[in-house]
Structure formats: C-alpha cells, structure tokens
Structure 1
Amino acid sequence: MIDVLVIGGGYVGLSVAVAVKQAAPHLSVEVYEAAPEDAWKRDNRASAIIAAASRLLTVLGAWADIAPEAEPIRRMVVTDSRVGDPVRPVFLTFDGDVQEGQPFAHMVPNVAMVGALRSVAERLGVPVHHRMTASGFVNEGASMRVTRSDGEDVRTRLLVACDGVRSKLRDMAGIKTVRWDYGQSGIVTTVEHERPHEGTAEEHFLPAGPFATLPLKGNRSSLVWTERTEDANRLVESDDLIFEDELERRFGQKLGRLKVVGDKRAFPLGLTLARDFVAPRFALAGDAAHGIHPISGQGLNLGFKDVAALAETIVEADRLGLDIGALNVLERYQAWRRFDTFRMGVTTDVLNRLFSNDIGPIRIARDFGLGLVERMPKLKSYFIGEAAGVAAKGNPRLLNGESI
C-alpha cells in the first residue's frame, strides 16, 4: 500500500511528494512520470518564481541548489503601445522587493528547478518511476486501486494528479472543467543582448497580446511573446533572420543587438479551470487543476500554492489520525485553493481581453488606470505583495517560509 501516489514528475508533482515526505517521513510516497528519465534535462524554458514560492522551495531544501541559477527581478516596467509606435511610453513601474533584500520574484531555468527537486526527492527516499503513469483507477473504499501503464495494479490511500492541463486522470475521475480558447499562442524562447538588463522585466501590451521580457543570468532574457495563433505558428516556423527582425520591432534596441539562443516554441493559450479539485481519494494540483493566461506570470506559482495547501492538509490530517484520502479531509484543500484559483483565472481573462486589442476608448481608459496606479504608492505596494504571494492572510505555512 502506497500512502500518497503522485502522477506527474514535474516541479508541482515533485514538490508535493517532497513536502509530504519531509514533514511526515513515515508516509510512503511515490512519483510516476510518463517521460523518459532524462527528458527534463532538455527543457530550455525558464519560469518566474514569486517570493512565496521561493520560500516554499527554501523550506523543502531545494532553493540552495536553485539560487546560483536564479536571476532576481528587481524592477517591472509596463507599457501600452502599438508595434510601430516610435515612442513606447511607460505607464507603470514596480520596484522588485517585497522587503529589503527579497525580490518579489526570480527567473529560474526549469532544468535547475526540477533538478534540485529531484535531488531532494532522492535524499528523502522518494522513488520516481519513469515511463510510468496510471491507465485507470477504481475507488475501493479504504484505498484506490490504480492500474499502472505496465498493467500492474497498486493500491494507494491518496492519488494526486499533476499530469498537466490536459489531464487524463482528471477526465477519468469525471471532473468537469470550464474551458475556452483565446485564439492566441505564447512564443517562448531565450535571447542574448549586448547590454545588461539590470534585473528589469518588461511587459509590453500590444494589440495582439502581451510581450514580456524577463531577465536571466548574464546578458540574456526569456521571452513570452503572445500572438494570434496563426501568426505565432508562422513566426516559429520562419528562419532566424525573419524571426529576429519581428522580435526587434517588439523588443526595441535599448539592450543592443539581439540573438535568439533558445528553441522557439509556441504554446496555445486558453483558460481551463476544474470545477472540483478533489474526489474521494483523489486530488488535482498544478495545471491539472487550472491553466491560465501567462499575462500575470502566475500559472506556475498557482501550482506551488496548491503544493503548500495540499501538503499541509495531508500532513495535518495524518497527525490527527484521520484518513488522508477521505473526502471531508480533502475538501479543506479544495476550500483553500478553489476561490483563489478562480479569482486569478477571471483576473487574467479580463486583463487579456482588456489589453489584447486596439480599440481607442478602451486604450484610453486602461492607460488612465495604469497611470493612476503609478501615482498611488500604497496601492502599488499592495499589488506587489499580492503578486509575490506574501500579502494573503491564511497562507499555508510553506508559503510563509515555515515548516509544516
């Protein structure tokens, strides 16, 4: 019998496994990952990790390995313009510290983050089984009988699905979703530039969607470039000369000459929200529970918030002698996370619709709103705290940098 079986060996799945095992070493925890063993080493992307998530990773013992590769975001700049505008006015700026010496976010290469979490899992004795997933499962009351992809059956007290936004396990559990497609795709790549970025992240609101540049170590930046899906596919398939020419029109020349140094990939964008996060002996976490627009940079961080809430729910229930897979136990996790997730999903949906257009009156209204926030330091500080995940009351302990 496995106490907690996690399906999905990305950062969310590994973090759930590590958090539970660290706080309750007597519980047996295993991870099934469908990809080959070294597949994670080929991920060239980077992610924005908010302050609350870095606190969680510190408690889990992973941040010390991540930190040398992490680049702090020291300043955020927001503009609103058209691609061909000769001047790109700045409407809003945020200083990047939630408190002295602690940036509100870092940019972290995905390979560094997953590698650090895998090292911690190994130290704690959490096995990660590769080329393995669940092909089916049946709730048998006292346990869940899970049929593995190799045909063998195992039993677990709790099955945690971290298998992505198109989660097959979510569908098997009969959990419905709210979903729609934006008709946009996010182009993700890495560029080198001649001059240093000085830790500045920029979000340019353009008619086709936001164009974000995020600082990496050295004179490099990560791009999340939103375009209409047909245009995004065309750009990714074009040669580097055409791509870099279109890129320079959006990026500008403030950092000198640009060169693409990472793979160019386009990911379709949509909103996916699970109607329920739990069922008897079953829980969703990460993208399996929610997929949102990257306009706020909060997608991955919502997953880390899930990790903190789910791990605390499991561990505290175990300490009280309760059944960790019982629905009334898991409903605490759902209550903790569902409203916040729906709120963020609605917020990103509204922001995307508000800024991904070139309608004159709407542009005037949104630019007035950005300028108003720029002139209100207390409101800016509040937004920074919210974005960093440190302002919320009732946060799970891991997000406050405390052990469970």
Structure 2
Amino acid sequence: MLALMSDTLDFDIVIIGGGPAGGLASLALAARGFSCALVDAADPGVMRGAAFDGRTSAISYASARVFKRLGLWDAIAPDAEAIRDILVTDGRARSWLSDGAVSPFSLHFDSSELGPDQPLGWIVENRVIRDVLFDAIDASDNVTLMAPASRAATKFNPGEAIVDLADGRRLSAALVIAADGRRSALRAEAGIKTNDWSYGQAGIVATVAHEKPHDGVAHEFFLPSGPFAILPMTNYRSSLVWTERAEAAPAYMALDDDKFRIEIENRFGEHLGAVAPAGPRWSYPLAFTLAQSYVSPRLALIGDAAHAIHPIAGQGYNLGIKDIAALADVLTDGRDVGLDIGALTVLQNYQKWRRFDSAALALGCDSLVRLFSNDIGPLRLVRDIGMSAAGKFKPMREFFMRQAGADMGALPSLMAREG
C-alpha cells in the first residue's frame, strides 16, 4: 500500500533490524496473524550480495524445526551441510619454533546417539538465510519491508508506540521489537543497561576449499589464543572461525592469500588434504553483552540486542531463534485472551521464559572461553582430563548434545519435538 508521507501507517508490531533475527521474527509473527513492519537502514539488494556477510551460522536441530514449520527449510536445505560429528581437541599451532601438538585427550559427539538420521545441526551461509527470508517476506501479506529506511525517533506511549522514520513516514504499533544488534540504539534509548566485557580477542572468518571430504565432522581445536573451529560446508568447503588475540589479528588479516593459507595449514593440519582460501576473509572484535532486562513497556529485545556471546559454541543465532519462537507464543497467548501485546504484564512472560535460559548459556560459553584460551600447564591437564572423562560418560555426552541442539528446557511450540 502506498501512503502519503504525512499518513500514519498502523501495524500490530514494528521490528527494527532486518537481519536474520529480525527477518525471521517478522515471518514467525506474520504466521500467527500479526501485521508487521520490518525496518532496516541497509538496502536489501546490498544485504543479499555475496560480499555483504561472508559468515556462516550453525543452525541447531531444534532451531531447524522453526524454519521447517514456517515453510522455509526446503529452500535452505540444498545449501545446508549437516553436522554429523563434533570433535573437540586441545593443542598448539605449528610454527617455525614448534611442530605443533595435539592433546591425546579429546571429546567426540556422535549424532547417531540422538537417533537415526538426526544431525547435530547444519552449517549455512548467512547469505543463504538472508535470501530465503527476503523471498518469504516479499511473498507475505502480513509483512511490510521498509528498507532502506532509517529510524529517526521512537515514542512509547501508554496506548501505542510511535516510530518516526527519517523519510517522514510515521508508524504506529502496539509493540516494537529491537533486532538492531549488539549495540542496539533502541535498547539504549529505553534505558536498559547491559553487562559488557571484551575478550581481547578477534574472530577471523574465512571459507576454505579442501582436497578431501569432511564427512560432516566439525572440529573445535582449542589453541592458547582461543578456539579454532572448522565447520563443514557444502562442496568440499569448510568455514573457519578462528579466534585470535586482538593485537595479532590485523597482521593475519593483512597477509596475502598464500601466506594466509600457510597460517591456516599450521592450525588446520593435513586431515583434509591441501587447503586453499575460497573467498574473502572478515574480522570482528569478540565481546560479551547481556541486557539486564529484555523488555520495557511496548519494547522487546531479541537476538544480539538481548545477548551477544562468544562464537565458541556456535550458539549466537540459535539463542535468537529461541527468543523469536518464545515471543511468538507469548504474544499469541496474550492476544487470544484479549490482552494488549505491548503491555509489560504480557512482555514479562517473555522475559521470564528467556532471560535465565539465555544468561545461563551465555555465561557457560564465557566460562569455556576463559578455561580454554590460555596455555597454563596445570589448567591444560585438568581440562584435557575433564574432556576425556566426559567423552566416556554417555549421559553427559547426550546432555551436551541436546544443549548444543537447543533442545533443552521448556520449548516454544515452533521448536517442540514431534509427537
């Protein structure tokens, strides 16, 4: 619908941030009958470009149920590589001073222990997720995409929220959802405080092609500077999520492709044969952010606006997916009994559901970072023995696999197990 700039456009919900979290939220809520405006400052054509975001996301098997129930998975599946096994090891990179070392202790998670043909999750390129979400948004009658469009101001009134865009359009809704990232401006304007700290690390992300098949095995190799993850992708490729000391990362990023390949091989080893960079590389600082509240009157936080964590366990996007599924249930239940979906009494049900769960997982990941990002001899011995012991105890392995699969606790209906 075309509207004059002076018109107020009415929606049930306005979502600020059109990335993977905001886009999925718009579709999940549209499927429940809510009318949504999705606002993002970036041009969708740019966001859909291969060079916009070269990262990948790990989609846990419980999170995949959300995409399946929203009718999105069939479009994602051809470009999703199943994680069949996860192998966790400890060691040091090879260098001119050392041939490197791999601990004799390891931890192996085998997806077959969860059931027949049940992967632990899938690795999907972010551009694939964005393309599928944008295609579905274009086809939805309940989602209006406003992009590129910048938010100029937001007012939270007793009966409605008003969002003014920089181009003069005014949006009215019962609820605003902040999906605007770790540095959420909406969160700050609402006066919601955060707990934050930096890890003094940077994440280096790259895709490599390799000679041998990966067989769906994800490797998490703990080095003194931080974890080095090798994540299986389609077509004889793997995604590297390389944690490095913040002061050292720029030097690695500045290397030419051949020298960068050598550094990859020093960490990657030879188990997949010859490797070569397959595309550009990205780097970003690693930090922890946890909002002290996920809600305020007529505002709910999801995804990185609520919690931004270390990529050590690949749980960042999965936390956001669970936020979306839980919020969809809470808002649907509130609407169906005649309540105002923007009222704090409704939104607090979302906070009770999600904040403790996500805080516990975020702090658990933080503890792993601190335990493994060092080269202290006695601590290395303790953690290696602990990994070995956990690997021999099947109930503990299954617990960790279900935790990593986002399949623990009270599950929202979009994530619930079949039957």
Pairwise TM-score range, normalised by the shorter structure:
over 0.9
Partner of 1:142, secondary structure, is coil
Instruction: Pick the aligned partner of 1:174 from 191, 214, 218.
Output: 191
Q: Which of the residues 120, 137, 161 maps onto 1:121?
A: 137
Q: Tell me, yes or no, if the aligned pair for 2:90 and 2:102 is still in contact at 8 Å.
A: no
For residues 367-387 of structure 1, give each alpha carbon's deviation from its aligned partner in whole angstroms, at most 9, with x where no partner exists.
010000011012101111111
Q: Which amino acid aligns with 2:125?
A: P
- The answer for the alignment partner of 1:111 in structure 2 is 127
Matches within 5 A, 1:3-152: 3-24=12-33, 27-42=34-49, 43-84=53-94, 85-97=100-112, 98-125=114-141, 126-152=143-169
The 3 A distance-change label for structure 1 pair 174 and 241 is same
- Report what 1:2 is aligned to: 11
Letter aligned with residue 400 of structure 1? A
Q: CA RMSD in A?
A: 1.4
- 1:210 is aligned, of 227, 246, 252, to 227
1-structure distance, mates of 2:253, 2:111: 31
1:346: which partner in 2?
Answer: 363
Q: CA deviation at 1:211?
A: 0.1
Deviation at 1:61, TM superposition (A): 0.9
Question: 1:145-294 maps to which residues of 2 (within 5 A)?
Answer: 145-294=162-311
List alignment gaps of at least 5 residues for structure 1. Answer: none
- Kept in 1: contact 2:149–2:167 (CA 8 A): yes
Output the CA distance in 1 between the equivalents of 2:103 and 2:239. Answer: 20
Aligned residue type for 2:111: G
- Structure 1 residue 258: deviation in Å? 0.9
Query: 247-256 or 82-91, which moves further after superposition?
Result: 82-91
TM-superposition CA deviations, 1:100-157 (whole Å, max 9, x none): 2121110111111121122222222212111113222111210011111223322111
| Comparing 132-141 and 58-67, the one that deviates more | 132-141
Q: Contact conserved, 1:161 with 1:169, CA < 8 A, in 2?
A: yes
Kindly state the Cα deviation for residue 87 of structure 1 after the two structures are TM-superposed. Answer: 4.2
Gaps of 5+ in 2: 1-9, 95-99
Contact 1:59 1:402 in 2 (8 A): no
In the aligned structure 2, how far is the partner of 1:263 from the partner of 1:316?
45
CA distance in 2 between counterparts of 1:136 and 1:177 reads 21
Q: Quote the residue 2:354 is aligned against.
A: 337
Q: Quick check: 1:59–1:401 contact (8 Å CA) kept in 2? A: no
Q: Distance in 2 between matches of 1:384 and 1:61?
A: 26
How far residue 262 of structure 1 moved from its aligned partner, in angstroms, is 2.0
Instruction: Tell whether 2:331 aligns with 1:314.
Output: yes
The whole-number CA distance in structure 2 between the counterparts of 1:16 and 1:266 is 27
Counterpart in 2 of 1:398?
414
Describe the superposition over 1:236-289 as per-residue Cα deviations: whole angstroms up to 9, x where unpaired.
122112211111100011111111012111110010000110000001100011
Q: C-alpha displacement at 1:73, in angstroms?
A: 0.4
Structure 1's 401 and 377: CA in aligned 2 closer, same or farther, altered over 3 A? closer
Residues 3 and 87 of structure 1: is their aligned pair in 2 closer, same or farther, counting only changes over 3 Å?
A: closer
Q: Give the match's secondary structure for 1:89.
A: strand
Provide the rounded CA distance (Å) in 1 between the counterparts of 2:20 and 2:380.
38
Percent identity, aligned pairs only, is: 43
Alignment partners' CA distance in 1, 2:282 and 2:122: 22
Are 1:50 and 1:301, in contact at CA under 8 Å, matched by a contact in 2? yes
Residue 395 of structure 2: which of 378, 381, 385 is its match?
378
| Residue pair 1:196, 1:219 contacting (<8 A) in 2 also | yes
User: Contact 1:211 / 1:226 at 8 angstroms: preserved in 2?
Assistant: yes
- For 1:306 and 1:116, locate their aligned partners in 2 and report how far apart those are by CA, in whole Å: 20
Letter in 2 for 1:378: P
Q: Secondary structure of the equivalent of 1:127?
A: strand
Q: Distance in 1 between matches of 2:157 and 2:409?
A: 37
How far is the alpha carbon of 1:99 from its aligned partner? Answer: 2.4
Q: Supply the distance in 1 between the matched residues of 2:85 and 2:104 (Cα, whole angstroms).
A: 16
8 Å CA contact 1:46, 1:108 repeated in 2: yes
2:280 aligned counterpart, secondary structure: coil
CA separation in 2, counterparts of 1:255 and 1:317? 52
Sort the Cα spacing of 1:132 and 1:22 in 2 relative to 1 into closer, same or farther, 3 A: same
The change in CA–CA distance for 1:87 and 1:12 in structure 2 (over 3 A counts) is closer
Cα distance change, pair 87–156 in 1 and its aligned pair in 2 (3 A)? closer
Distance 1:21 1:190 in 2: 34
Deviation of 1:88 after TM superposition, in Å, equals: 4.9
